[in-house]
Amino acid sequence: MNATKVSVSPTVMQYETLFHRYSANPILSGKDWPYSMNSVFNAGATLLPDGSTLLLCRVEDRRGLSHLCVARSVNGVDKWEIDRQPTFMPDPENHPEEIWGIEDPRITYVPELKQYAIAYTSYSRGGPGVSLALTKDFRDFERLGVVMSPDDKDAALLPRRINGLWALIHRPMTPLGAHIWISYSPDLRHWGNHKLMLEARRGAWWDANKIGMSPPPIETSKGWLMIYHGVRRTPSSSIYRLGLALFDLEQPEKCLIRGDSWMFAPEAEYERHGDVQDVVFPCGYTVAADGDTINLYYGAADSSIALAHGSIRSLLAWLDVNGHSEHGHDRRQRQR
């Protein structure tokens, strides 16, 4: 692809709606909770074997510390059954890295382990790091501890080994900036072979400043499809919007296509206003029985959980039209 495409006047571009908000959004908020708390947002999601949907919600208490709580629904939309007590609490005695809470879980079902792997942010005195836990039932959890030391977050495990190794996507803060990396491990405990996957752009771009993976990537025949958040700092705040990128199936650090524009942004009142304004932050999705419809669960303004529907086929088609290859010269030209 060439560098001129991006300079097409925005007036001739037709923006497509890729994700449609559920009309009764938000689907979950503090008023639904069976116990006292401040707010609920940024939930991991998965389909259970019986077809029902499980959300692992980040719940922030009135100290400002977060824990995780399960909500289940037969249709993934309403009639949520919420655990009466916190499901997964920080354990600072045994895991000092959890002293300031646990946040933003991403769930991956791992067929080889017959378990769900949860990558979450453990908020330590040294800053946020990435921890892993395994569970079969979202009642008992086996902690593997910190796998990426601070400052690091926005992590998810890929569901299968790549060339014999487990792969974890995450977002370390490095002197280079807030970019998305992937690391590999033979045993889920020892991690190395760190590779840069996707960089924040610069200057005026919507995803300048910071990027991070949002939900775990979606495996498609064309590659790993990633919904990522981009942060644009403005004089008054930061805006969290969502974009798309596609990565090679067997070499996931290789970005095949990256979308230019964002494709979902805070617009509704519950996304624009809350504890943190102008935030859409998905940590999970489920795919419907048709294999194409994607239900995206996202935190809205750090104050509630909302739902939007899309189509994997349409996301891939959009990337073909609105994306560029991320290689060498072209990328440097466009980001200058």
Answer for the pair 245, 217: CB distance below 8 angstroms, yes or no. no
Binding characters for ligand BMA, 44-83, by CB under 6 A (x = yes): ----------------------------------------
Question: What does the alpha-carbon distance between residue 70 and residue 94 come to, in Å, rounded to a whole number?
Answer: 22
Q: Which of 276, 277, 314, 330 binds ligand BMA (CB under 6 A)?
A: 276
Answer for the pair 44, 121: CB distance below 8 angstroms, yes or no. no
Q: Is 103 in the site for ligand BMA (CB under 6 A)?
A: yes
Shortest separation between residue 64's beta carbon and ligand BMA, angstroms = 12
List Cα–Cα distances, 288 to 92, 267, 293, in angstroms: 38, 25, 5
Residues 6 or more apart in contact with residue 22 via CB below 8 angstroms: 77, 306, 307, 308, 309
Closer Cβ to ligand BMA, 29 or 42, answer by number: 42
Q: What backbone phi and psi angles, to 5 degrees, belong to 10?
A: -60, -25
Q: Is 105 in the site for ligand BMA (CB under 6 A)?
A: no
List Cα–Cα distances, 84 to 33, 52, 71, 181, 184, in angstroms: 8, 19, 10, 37, 37
Closer Cβ to ligand BMA, 42 or 124, answer by number: 42
Closer Cβ to ligand BMA, 116 or 123, answer by number: 123
Q: Which of 215, 282, 299, 323 binds ligand BMA (CB under 6 A)?
A: 299
Shortest separation between residue 176's beta carbon and ligand BMA, angstroms = 18
Which helix (H) or strand (E) element contains residue 104?
Answer: strand 102-110
Please choose, from the candidates 120, 123, 106, the residue with its C-alpha nearest in 3D space to the C-alpha of residue 228.
106
Closer Cβ to ligand BMA, 133 or 279, answer by number: 279
Q: Which of 33, 281, 298, 318 binds ligand BMA (CB under 6 A)?
A: 281
Q: Which residue is nearest to ligand BMA (CB)?
A: 276
Q: Is 284 in the site for ligand BMA (CB under 6 A)?
A: no
List Cα–Cα distances, 188 to 44, 131, 144, 242, in angstroms: 20, 11, 8, 29
Q: Which of 25, 29, 39, 42 binds ligand BMA (CB under 6 A)?
A: 42
- 84, with CB counted inside 10 A (0-12, 13-18, 19+), is exposed
Closer Cβ to ligand BMA, 41 or 318, answer by number: 41
Closer Cβ to ligand BMA, 184 or 298, answer by number: 298
Q: Which of 60, 97, 104, 207 binds ligand BMA (CB under 6 A)?
A: 104
Closer Cβ to ligand BMA, 39 or 87, answer by number: 39
Closer Cβ to ligand BMA, 271 or 326, answer by number: 271
Partners of 59 in the β-ladder:
40, 67
Question: Three-state SS for 334?
Answer: helix
Binding characters for ligand BMA, 197-236, by CB under 6 A (x = yes): ----------------------------------------
- 179, with CB counted inside 10 A (0-12, 13-18, 19+), is middle
Using CB under 6 A as the criterion, which residues of the chain lie in contact with ligand BMA when the complex forms? 42, 103-104, 240, 276, 279, 281, 299, 302
